[in-house]
Structure formats: C-alpha cells, structure tokens
Structure 1
C-alpha cells in the first residue's frame, strides 16, 4: 500500500486554508437528520455531547443545541472554531464550549453522555483511528452513546477539496466491531453507504 502519511497529516492545514469555502459548499441542509435523531433518541434530555470535528457548528451542533443539549465542540482548525464562536458565542450560549485541539490528543476532564464524530474520523489514518477508541473510552461514562462515520471497507482513498488532495481511510467492519466491543460499546445500528444519508457509512453504538 502506498504511504499516504503526509497527506493524512496535511488534513488540518487544508481545512484551515479552505474553511470558509468549505462552509459555503456544505450549506445548512441537515441531510444527517435521520441519524442525529437516532443518536439523540438514546440520550437523556439536556445531555452533555462531545462533537469531535465540529467545524463551524452549523448545521449539526446547531441542531443538537436546538434540541436542548449542551455541546462541547473540538476542531483543529482555528478558522472553523472562529466561525463556531461567531455562530454560538459562549456568553450568549453558556451551554456551548468551543475548543481548538486535535481529537487524537485533546485532554478533557469532563465525561460525556454523547460523542459524535461525523465526517472527521475518516480523515485519520487507520492506526490513528484504532488509537482513538482509547480517547472515546476516556470521554465516556456508563451508557454513553457514540456515533461516527467511516468508509464501507478497509483502505485509503484520496479525494479532492478545491484542488487539494483530501485523505480518507477506514478500518474494516470487523475491526470497528472488535474495537467497539473491546472498549465496552455495543453496536445499535450500522448502515454502510446509507442511501438515505448521501451514501454515508454510519456507526451508532452505546456503552454497556
């Protein structure tokens, strides 16, 4: 397999440079709603949710905030976090906390009832994805709900974001299942290339 390590490590720089054009391209249509509703249905009211790779906080974090939940958003891109803070200033939205940091290394004292890693986890190398389950474990409590997007099968792919090579990777379904089980998560539902969510492969699990 060709070594794409340099491309994986360049993801943060790409999103920093392309943050505003990416946000305009992404728009605010919530095509993830069916999955977010499944995720939120497993949580108590007014839960603490950790959104890893939160971007500008719109539309995903915005939807969770509208449903009455408290959101801690983490993103490596300073430009993305600036937009999140503009969209949801912490002095007006005390239930929000926006943290610039790398999901692989960010240190948080708080435990969360929900952990969401949507369209960000799959930019990590397979090795770093495996290691992230220790982070998930650290941020979790009893009954924590975890939802993340992945690829449909093991491998690496290089996409394109406004002329920049955009790295994606995935473990196999068997590997994800083994890691979830190892860290005490039971798979609630997993759909590969969901036609009702623009072809996303989504995992929804809950801590035993």
Structure 2
C-alpha cells in the first residue's frame, strides 16, 4: 500500500462500512464480558470509565453502564458511535480520534482500550499511552489489548466485505516497555489466542 495512504481514514471507513459484520447488536463475546466483570471487581462504586475505541458499545460499555458506572465511549467511526448511542443510552459517546483528543488529568478511574492501539500508527502509540496515564486518577486501571508480534499491514475485503482494514503494532515486549515509559505499572498480562495467532492483554495501573 502506498506510503501516502491516510490510514486513519482507512480504519474509520472500514468500521463505518463493516460495523454490523464486525459485531451485531446482540453479540456479547464471553471473553470481553469476563474482562468487564474483572474490571468491575477492581473499581469503586459509580466509577468513571473511558472506553477508548468503544465500537458499538457492546458488551463492555453496556456492562459497565448497567452496573452503575459512568462510561464515556470514544470511537473514530461515526457509524459505531451512532449504534452505541442507540444500544447503550445510559453512557456518553463521542466520535473522535484518540491521537487527537484529550481529557483533563485524573478524569477517569479506568481506561478500557481493547484492540484499538493496534489501529494507530505505531509511532504515535507511546504518546497515546502517556496521555491515557494522565487521564487516570492515581491508582486508576488500564485494561488494554495490544499486538503479540510485530506487524504492520492491510487486509483487503476485511471480514469478507467491501472495505480494507489496516493494523500496526509492535511485539508485546515493546508494548510492555511503552506502558512502563508512559508511567504505568504492569500488574498482569496474558496471551489472548485468536485464529493462528493472538494478542496480548495487559492489566496496568497508574501508581497511587
């Protein structure tokens, strides 16, 4: 793919066009629900949570909102945000690019960032992590899924649909170093299998 391709626009269009193929209104992946439940066990009552790359709001924003937490969802796709507003009316959703938006320091008790960093230009990911750390209150949690291996590439006709998708991520060790450099303490991590490969799940915390 040519170097001058606007990868942000490519990712945005991919999720606009393929939103329903990626996740239907009733899809509730058990793995994501388990992560949401584990996060809830770590949060105070009525916590403030940022769902960074919220998609259609199912299931994480929906689960956290249903349990009384104040959820703000951010996604680059206008279609995904419109669906999230319909499916999770108790939360607040904003269409924005994570590399170009911001929140006040200490705004959130937790940031959820599932399969989102892998769609950002890798040279911008360390700064996004630094900003997420600032957005958290001291002691706040980050739940993030990153790449497992180093790879940048595009898949044409993603999910069998009429649009491509683009990813860029370092290996898990590099993501771990970036988290530490951003100010996080990595508390736990695990390999998340998917197809012939997989991703890396990190539980990290801004030190109190």
TM over 0.5, shorter chain: yes
Looking at structure 2, the residues matched to 173 and 117 of structure 1 have their Cα atoms a distance apart, in angstroms, of 15
Residue equivalent to 1:97? 92
The answer on 1:170 being equivalent to 2:166 is no
User: Cα gap change, 1:26/1:135 in structure 2, threshold over 3 Å: closer, same or farther?
Assistant: farther
Unaligned ranges ≥5, structure 2: none
Conserved? CA contact 1:188–1:204, under 8 Å: yes
- Kindly tell me: are residues 175 and 111 of structure 1, through their superposed partners in 2, closer, same or farther at Cα, counting changes over 3 Å? same
Name the counterpart of 1:143.
139
The answer to whether the 8 Å contact 2:133/2:206 transfers is no
Cα offsets for 1:45-69 (capped at 9, x unmatched) = 2110000111111112111112221
CA positional deviation for 1:100: 1.2
Question: Which residue is equivalent to 2:50?
Answer: 50
RMSD of Structure 2 on Structure 1 (CA): 2.4
User: Is residue 130 of structure 2 the alignment partner of residue 124 of structure 1?
Assistant: no
| Kept in 2: contact 1:50–1:112 (CA 8 A) | yes
Name segments (4+ residues, structure 1) moved above 4 Å.
Answer: 2-5
Residue 78 of structure 2 is aligned to residue 78 of structure 1? yes
Structure 1 unmatched runs, 5+? none
Shift of residue 5 of structure 1? 6.3
Kept in 1, the 8 Å contact 2:147–2:172? The answer is: no
CA distance in 2, matches of 1:80, 1:25: 11
